[in-house]
Amino acid sequence: MEYIITMSDENEINDDYDYARSKYYNLAEKGDEAIDLMLDLARESEHPRAFEVLSNMLKQNAEVADRLMELQKKKKEVRLIDQKQLPNGNMTQNNVYVGSTTDLQRMLHDRIDEKSTKTIDQTDEIDNDDIDEED
């Protein structure tokens, strides 16, 4: 199934990408703020649970950065799909052979015979000249 992307679809894709990207940036910034607050709390309390929560927050913030990179890759994939479309628009040109497989094999065999005949004819002339010179 082929999906043709129109200009309105392209605008929607760009809008969605920009929206998702801004959300990821917002999450990353808020995550940084929360990490700073949790770091202060963990230092003050010196409680193991506070450090565990801090490590989970760091992990989640790193995952947000990974998701941002995945979003970038997905947008590039969409662009590559757009570029793979044919340059002449939506038209596809297919060459079709109408005939039986036997006819096709005969045609190919005839072409091979023509090429080999040309090669044989050229070598025959050379061999005949060599024979004439020896006599």
Full residue range of the structural domain in which residue 128 is found: 97-135
Structural domain includes residue 79: yes
The reply to whether 20 and 62 lie within a common domain is yes
Judge whether 92 lies within some domain: no
pLDDT confidence of residue 39: 93
Domain count, the chain: 2
Block means of pLDDT (10 residues each) for the chain, 135 residues, are 58 87 93 94 93 94 93 84 60 73 88 76 53 52
* 91 located within any domain: no
User: b/e for 44-69, b at 16 or more Cβ within 10 A?
Assistant: eeeeeebbeebeebeeebeebeeebe
Same domain, 70 and 31: yes
Confidence at residue 1, expressed as pLDDT on a 0 to 100 scale:
44
Task: For residues 20 and 72, state if they share a domain.
Answer: yes
pTM above 0.85, yes or no: no
Q: Can you give the pLDDT at residue 88?
A: 56
91 SS3 class: coil
